[in-house]
Amino acid sequence: MKKKIASAPYILWMALFTVIPLVLVIVFAFTNENKEFTVEAFTKMGQFIPSLIKSLKLALISTVICFVLAYPFSYIMSRSAEHVQRRMMMLIMLPMWMSFLLRTYSWMTLLEKNGLINRFFGLFGLGPFQMINTEGAVVVGMVYNFLPFMILPLYTVMLKIDKSVIEAAQDLGSNSFNVIRKVILPLSLPGIISGITMVFVPSVGTFMISRMLGGNENMLIGDLIEKQFFGNMYNPYLGSAVSLLLMVIILITMGIINLFDDEEMEGMMI
């Protein structure tokens, strides 16, 4: 009985700094400068729909690419010797410890018109290609930044798959392809779900990657929200309304994804 009190400070903290702020977002979304109730902000939102769609599209593409790249990698990693696993893990974590802004900056210089990649192509008489300030560059940036977030949960869940279960599948006649399709894939579902969540959500909400690699033509929804709060487009009411929309979309998406997984959301954690 006494122990419940231990969580009182946390409850208070979360009420103050999570619940009330979100309520404020809702309040701002439905008011204007004169503190009147209005749905005006939502009527203005039409101009944001293309950015929103683009955000969702690029985030989806990035998530799929991350999954395709990470799945075999995680599998190989989970079936390696223990000391090899530890070394591989360290090499995956190492870049995550560097500010992602710096890593994204490196891609800025690589993808430039006279950057290293174009120089490399130049050696074969190709290019220069327009790479920076394209959707492709934004996807590269997202995949690069969020790939470890796909690898880690996949690896964790695959590690738990007992070797004898895989052997049992082989014993019953599965070739490698069927082992993956019928055993490993379904058993790694919780990891797949948390991996998708951990890549998709930050991809949708980013504005730094698109700002740095996408140029002015590839504004994402995050950029537009940011612009409502900083700079000369200042309009926190509109910004709040878009934020609310983004949040609702993400929460609904997450709800749908989690329907596939009947276990608790514990897979979320690394």
Partner 1 sequence: MSDKIIIDLKNIVVSYDGERVLDRINLSIRDKEFVTLLGPSGCGKTTTLRIIGGFVSADEGEIYFDGKKINDLPAHKRKVNTVFQRYALFPHLNVFDNVAFGLKLQKLPKNEIQQAVRKMLEIVNLKGFERRKVNQLSGGQQQRVAIARALVNRPKVLLLDEPLGALDLKLRKEMQLELMNIQKQLGITFIYVTHDQEEALTMSDTVVVMKDGEIQQIGSPQDIYNEPTNAFVADFIGENNIFDGVMLEDYKVQIHGHVFDCVDKGFMKNQPVDVVIRPEDIRIVKPEESPLVGVVESVIFKGVHYESTVKCEGFSWLIHSTQCAPVGSKIGIAFGPEDIHIMNKLVPFSTNRVEGVVTEENTVEFLGVTMVRPNLGLSVDTPVMLTIDPKDIEIVSEDISDLTVYLESMVWKGAYNEMVIWTHDRQMILHSQNDEQVATDIGIKFHTENILIEPLSQGKEA
Partner 2 sequence: MKKVASRAYVWLIYLFLYLPILVLIVFSFNDSKSTAKFTGFTLHWYTDLFRDRDLLMAMLHTLEIALLASIIATVLGTAAAIGIRSMGKAGRSVMMNLTYLPVVNPEIVTGVSLMLLFVFLGGLLGFQQGFGTVLIAHVTFCTPYVILNVLPKLRQMDISQYEAAQDLGCSPGKAFFKAVIPQILPGITSGALMAFTFSLDDFMITYFTNGAGFETLPTMIFSMVRRRVSPKINALSTLIFVIVLLMLILINIKDIRREKRERKQEKRAV
Minimum distance, C-beta of residue 4 to partner 1, in the bound complex (Å): 32
Among 120, 117, 139, 116, residue whose Cα is nearest residue 69: 139
Separation of alpha carbons 183 and 177, rounded Å: 10
Backbone Cα Rg of the chain? 22
State the number of binding residues for partner 1 (CB under 8 A).
18
| Contact status: 170 vs partner 1 (CB under 8 A) | yes
Considering only the stretches 75-83, 103-111, 186-194, 216-224, report the one whose residues sit in contact with partner 1 under the rule CB under 8 A: 186-194
| Contact status: 98 vs partner 1 (CB under 8 A) | no
Binding partner of 100, given partner 1, partner 2, none, CB within 5-8 angstroms per partner class: partner 2
| Contact status: 162 vs partner 1 (CB under 8 A) | yes
Yes or no: say if 151 and 74 are a contact pair by the CB < 8 Å rule. Answer: yes
Minimum distance, C-beta of residue 45 to partner 1, in the bound complex (Å): 42
Minimum distance, C-beta of residue 106 to partner 2, in the bound complex (Å): 4
CA angle, 139 then 142 then 145, to 5°: 145
Give CA separation, 25 vs 132, 156, 158, 190, in Å. 34, 36, 39, 32
Residue 204, C-beta contacts closer than 8 angstroms, at least 6 positions apart? 55, 56, 59, 221, 222, 246, 249, 250
Binding partner of 187, given partner 2, partner 1, none, CB within 5-8 angstroms per partner class: partner 1
Minimum distance, C-beta of residue 119 to partner 1, in the bound complex (Å): 47
Q: For 22, which DSSP code?
A: H
Minimum distance, C-beta of residue 169 to partner 1, in the bound complex (Å): 7
Which residues would be at the binding site for partner 1 (CB under 8 A)?
A: 162, 164-165, 167-175, 178, 182-183, 186-187, 189
